[in-house]
């Protein structure tokens, strides 16, 4: 995933959910979430970044399992006419 996509998703989430100042934002250590631009955006929204521990696959296991199940039930079963529709 590119950082621009992650930033757009963050913008959309903030616009829709309007999180309070100081809200904790948890992610993994993906390069898009560690990027300078993404971190500045979190700061501008007043969100506190939180990341999984380095080399600790159990930090985020329950969330990863949830999203795997969600994708398996809603996304992987679909046939998409083009790659653009997949996104």
Number of domains in the chain: 2
Same domain, 42 and 4: yes
Query: Which CATH number covers residue 27?
Result: 3.30.420.10
Print the domain residue range for 76: 57-87
pLDDT value of residue 87: 57
CB 29, CB 52: distance < 8 Å? yes
How far CA 12 is from CA of 7, 15, 36, 40, 45, in Å, comes to 9, 5, 19, 16, 12
Q: What pLDDT digit, counting tens, does each position of 8-19 carry?
A: 999 999 999 999
| 36 shares its domain with 20 | yes
Report the pLDDT value the prediction gives residue 29, as an integer from 0 to 100: 85
Is the predicted pLDDT of residue 86 greater than 70, yes or no? Answer: no
- In the chain, where does DSSP find H-type helix? 3-17, 31-34, 36-45, 61-74, 83-86
Query: What's the confidence (pLDDT) of residue 16?
Result: 96
């Amino acid at each position: 995933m590119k950082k621009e996509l992650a930033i757009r998703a963050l913008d959309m989430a903030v616009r829709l959910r309007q999180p309070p100042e100081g809200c904790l934002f948890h992610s993994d250590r993906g390069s898009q979430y560690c990027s300078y631009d993404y971190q500045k955006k979190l700061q501008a929204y007043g969100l506190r970044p939180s990341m999984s521990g380095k080399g600790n696959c159990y930090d985020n296991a329950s969330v990863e399992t949830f999203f795997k199940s969600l994708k398996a039930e809603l996304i992987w079963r679909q046939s998409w006419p083009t790659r653009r529709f997949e996104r």
